[in-house]
Amino acid sequence: MSVKFTRREFLAASLVSCVAALVGCASRSQSAQEGAASTTAGSAASNNASASGSTSAATQPAGNGKALVVYFSYTGHLDTMAHWLADETGSDLVRVTAVDAYPDDYDATVERAKTELDNGTRPQINVNLTPEQLKEYDTVFFGFPVWWYDLPMPMVTFLENNDLSGKTVIPLLSHEGSSNGANALPNLEKLAKGATVRSQDALSIHGKDVDGSESAVRSWATDLGYSK
């Protein structure tokens, strides 16, 4: 794509009266892809694990009462939030990355992410879960940054590759203005077919506030009844 996009054009929320504005993430120095997804417990320990689902309040969880935190992170914000959450809840933890890693150069990643969204590209990801592994979990915490008013496309790939029917999915997100998640939460509900997506309980934290949000993340998990 020949047009360069600035930080302000990339992650900004889709607010009715606002022009898309991206505030650059403080963690630009971090690598775009921090290795393969890692698990912290249970059967996910030898594999990259599962994630979220769509709305169907009538469906009942059928797993073993376990929870999974699955997330995508470019700047490191969601990596930080996900680790606090996994520690607080005793959940297994998995990081989704693209097989073709996003560039360390921020502007190049901005351009690629916009092109992927515009073209409906489904990047290949490093997560390959079996139905047997997914059966371990009743709840999936689904973490992502808002990119171009929407889900990052690797998380779309994840949702389309994994059957989360019968599970409870709870979103957590970082944003640069779109505290309501813009198009991300409605699309999460559509893509996670047969799951109960608790968008009303989503945790949303501005990127600039992530470093000081540990207590908020832990309190959120406790209030939801998931603290170990």
CA angle 72, 73, 77 (to 5 degrees): 130
| pLDDT tens, residue by residue, 93-149 | 999 999 999 999 999 998 999 999 999 999 999 998 889 999 999 999 999 999 999
Residues in the chain: 228
Q: What are phi and psi of 216, to 5 degrees?
A: -65, -40
CB atoms within 10 A of CB 120: 8
pLDDT at 26 over 60: no
Question: In the chain, count of helices (H) and strands (E)?
Answer: 7, 6
Domains and CATH numbers, the chain: 7-223 (3.40.50.360)
User: What separation, in Å, do the N-terminal and C-terminal C-alpha atoms of the chain show?
Assistant: 47
Mean pLDDT of 1-25: 37
- Rounded to the nearest 5 percent, the helix, strand and coil shares of the chain are 35, 15, 50
| pLDDT tens, residue by residue, 56-82 | 333 334 456 899 999 999 999 999 999
| pLDDT tens, residue by residue, 90-106 | 999 999 999 999 999 99
Q: 124: burial class by Cβ within 10 Å (0-12, 13-18, 19+)? A: exposed
